Amino acid sequence: MKALLLVKPLLWMNRWLLLLLMLWPYGMAAVLLAGGMQPAPDDVLSVLKQESMYGIALVGFNGAALLGNEQRSRRIIMVLARAVSRSEYLLALLLAAWVPLLLYVTGFAVSACLLVSLAGASLQVVWKMMLLQLLAGVWLACLSVGFSIFLPSILASLAALGTASALTYLDGLGPGRLLAGMMRMPLTATPPVNLVDVLVTLAGSAVVFAVASVAFARRDLNLSAD
């Protein structure tokens, strides 16, 4: 409950950016439809995959920047002084990194359903891309927030996104396969989401968060008010 209460001000500070991200998929759809109301299936699929990767990148950059921003603003001092444990605080950062993806995926779903319908394809591709984004986003949020404990924001985001890219290229079990499946998703006859990869991704997210919580609890944050 404390973590949920902390998420709201974190999101409110970036409200205009979040609004822009929610509107971004509609802008992409408008650009594609400017060439005609019957977009080519290949063009639609290309746009959906680009938007999916934008959503994943959003989590990586946002999650890596949150802790650094909190320390620079010294808001972290006030938060941890109010009977909030470091694990709860880290969970709030994790949620603040993932919730924008949830808002982004909402706009993605509406615009993607329109584009796919106009292209005469099945809506299954939309729901599966949404699911893959949200699942992979949980794992990447844990990873980026975890890296931010040890690294500056830009290096943490590069480390998190680099790890995701490597696993995707290698088609690694869990998040690697989910991301690879999202990028290889056909517009018709979409394959089912592998339950093993889903469970491995969620379990991996829990392990990464647990390790990050231990590291964060032991790190000297130099929280003096001087």
Domain assignment of residue 225, yes or no = no
**Residue 157, token pair as written in the block:** 């985001």
Provide the residue range defining the domain that includes 15: 2-218
Domain assignment of residue 199, yes or no = yes
Rounded distance between C-alpha atoms, residue 113 and residue 111, angstroms: 6
| Domain total in the chain | 1
196: number of Cβ within 10 Å: 10
Domain assignment of residue 50, yes or no = yes
Domain assignment of residue 69, yes or no = yes
Residue range 167-224, pLDDT digits in tens: 998 887 899 999 998 988 888 777 788 999 999 999 999 999 999 999 998 877 655 4
Which residues, at least 6 apart from 80, have a Cβ–Cβ distance to it below 8 Å? 86, 89, 223
Stretch 138-167: mean pLDDT, rounded? 94
Residue range 14-58, pLDDT digits in tens: 788 788 888 889 988 888 888 777 888 888 889 999 999 999 999
Domain assignment of residue 100, yes or no = yes
pLDDT at 1: 65
Domain assignment of residue 223, yes or no = no
Domain assignment of residue 116, yes or no = yes
Report the alpha-carbon angle 104-105-110, nearest 5. Answer: 105
60: number of Cβ within 10 Å: 26
Domain assignment of residue 87, yes or no = yes
pLDDT band at 165 (very low <50, low <70, confident <90, very high): very high
What's the helix, strand, coil split of the chain in %, to 5?
80, 0, 20
